Amino acid sequence: MTLDALFAPATVAVVGASERPGSSAGYVMRNLARFGFAGRVVPVHPRGGVVFGLPAALSLAEMDATPDCVVIGLRADLVPEALEQAGQAGARAAVILASGFRETGTEGAALEARLAGIARRYGMAICGPNCLGLIARDSGAALYSSTVSPDMPKGRTALISASGASAIALAHSGEIGIGALVSAGNSAVTGLADYVAHFATDPGIDTIAMVIEDIGDADALAAAMHQVHIAGKSAVALRVGRSALGQRATAAHTGALAGAEDAAVAFCRRTGILDMPDMDSFLAAVRLCAAYPAPPRVMGTGVLGVSGGGVAHVADIAAETGLPLAEFAEPTLDSLRALLPGFATPQNPLDVTGAAFGDPGVYSAALSALDRDPGVGVIIAAQDAPPALAADMAQEYDGIAGAVAAYRGQAPLIALANLSAGLHGDVAAAYGAALRLRGTRPALCAITAWLQTPRRVTWRRSTGTATLPQTLSEQAARALLADCALPGPIEGLARSAQDAVALVAQMPGAAVLKIVSPDIAHKTEAGGVALNILPGQAAETYVRILDSARAYAPEARIEGVAVQEMVSGGVEAMLGLVDSGPYGLGMVVGLGGTMVELLQDAAFDLLPIDRAGAEAMLKRTRLHALLDGYRGAPSCDRAALIEAMVALSDFGCRHAGSLEAVDLNPVRVLPQGLRLLDALILTRHG
């Protein structure tokens, strides 16, 4: 779907145009004039006459030209008829301003579905409904139903916002230059992915900023992001309403460890979207991407300033945000020793000391030394000069600001004011064209995302159609997963107390007894598991397990009691798959055992998972350290666990249409190999 008729129309018809104060269509008429729209504007009003100095058409059918875009400023119940007339008139796009659609409930949703059907029948792009509209700075198409300043900073950023109020606030923040502004509203026809794909090929846009309430069509957005990366552009997101998404309810422990928010975070990472937590970091990230579209290959950061406390504060926040500080190379340290006073300590972060005030050349030389360091990919010059300084006090910072302004090194340089209040106006001017960010946490959060978000799409929805039985016992589930590098323990099925005694006696050591029932998902909760059982305890344990399971679930089908070898040693891990709604299946890995939900030590990512992705997931958990042998314990087979994770990902991809969740806990990772000791597979129809 092309959006040219929305952003660069030659003729715009405004239905419901009126000079009445507060009229939504009236705002559009004023904005078209204020932003210098060069095309033709035709007000449409059933009484005709003159509106804002322009002759009004009685209807769209009465127009003497085909409108490229129709702005509909009527109440909700009148919109479908007006949209039908727009389609009949040959319009290729429409902006629907009215509220009263799916945001109001069932009747509104039906009305919205009706207008979506009309739009699709005529092949029309639609902005809205329930929106403020859009502004395209290059064409002057200010189809916006609120007061917007034409002095709004102009630039090469497209801002797409589900919220009209947020769009106005961010566009007028003075922090970013706007090339296009979209208040998308309900996005009944034209969704987020359509806007992103449009701006990916727009030569006037370099950075795409998104305020997202609903990600919409994840597959389409991933495809659009692929276009963004091919074009060498950046996309930054502020997702609102994250806390309301909540955790997905499921019968598997996996679902309690990975909710909708985890999936959305993973989706952004896997599609190369910089995912920011708040408006300040969002604006900082947009500014950073606009200044430096391509991040450096080297992720190490060098920090310098003239205050030991100031740069230490930056280091503290860097540790919290995950921003890596470079370890200076020896030649860099030698240069700094020769440059700085004897009482200074050459290190990262670097306190250049007050010597820079007397001789700004010291600051310039320090910047050059950091730029030459092979481990430094980006330099942060941290300096506060708050707005309320007296003029003579502010002047003292001119030399430092001038050194930053004159910097011409290869590593990107960011001037950071720790205070969110920013800089004194004179000092800010002295920085020249240098990128200035303010507020330590939002700035470092933005820099971390800018450095560490891969600029590529590695996610694709799992669409495998291999089928599974409706219900699977633990034994059936483990047998199914044996081919996924997840071998189980030695095992037999006891159907009597005598069977249990004989099977326990055959084990190489103590045994584990478990209830076998396709209707009991969590055996421990049913009293259906006993550990460290010897032959003399087997009969009594068998009876106790059966009685407990029957009391817990009287209607459950019970097939017997499994007798397994007791596998000890190593590290208990858990693996799982869970359906993540619009993103398909995802994987969870973390510490295993009975306290898995209490410990909440798990990492999540969307399928597919390759070896590098599996290793990255492990590094986000305590398993990473435990596998290496914690406090003298033997190291465990990390490679076997990674192989199992990749194989489980492949299994999930093949059976995506059938799986609701997979819960493998515990998986005991041994010094050599691993054993899958318990397995739960929930199917969509089970």
| DSSP one-letter string for 19-42 | -STT-HHHHHHHHHHHTT--SEEE
φ, ψ dihedrals at 321, nearest 5°: -85, -10
Predicted local confidence at residue 258, as pLDDT: 55
Confidence of residue 633 (pLDDT cuts 50, 70, 90): confident
Mark residue 398 as left, alpha or beta (left: phi above 0; alpha: psi -120 to 50; beta: remaining): alpha
pLDDT higher than threshold 50 for residue 414: yes
What SS3 state is found at 325?
Answer: strand
Summarize pLDDT for 206-230 with one digit per residue, the tens: 999 999 988 999 999 999 999 999 9
Lowest mean pLDDT among 364-378, 572-586, 641-655: 572-586
Predicted local confidence at residue 595, as pLDDT: 61
Work out the number of other CB atoms within 10 angstroms of the CB of residue 607: 26
Cis peptide bond upstream of 324, omega within 30:
no
Predicted local confidence at residue 255, as pLDDT: 46
Dist. CA 21–CA 149, nearest whole Å: 18
Lowest mean pLDDT among 135-139, 160-164, 442-446: 160-164
* Residue indicated by tokens 């309320």: 388
Task: Summarize the confidence of residues 393-422 as an average pLDDT.
Answer: 96
Dist. CA 450–CA 470, nearest whole Å: 45
Confidence of residue 656 (pLDDT cuts 50, 70, 90): very high
Higher-scoring residue by pLDDT: 279, 240: 279
Summarize pLDDT for 491-546 with one digit per residue, the tens: 999 999 999 999 999 999 999 999 998 888 788 889 999 999 999 999 999 999 99
The whole-angstrom distance between residue 152's C-alpha and the CA centroid of its chain comes to 28
pTM of the model: 0.90
pLDDT higher than threshold 50 for residue 105: yes
Predicted local confidence at residue 524, as pLDDT: 87
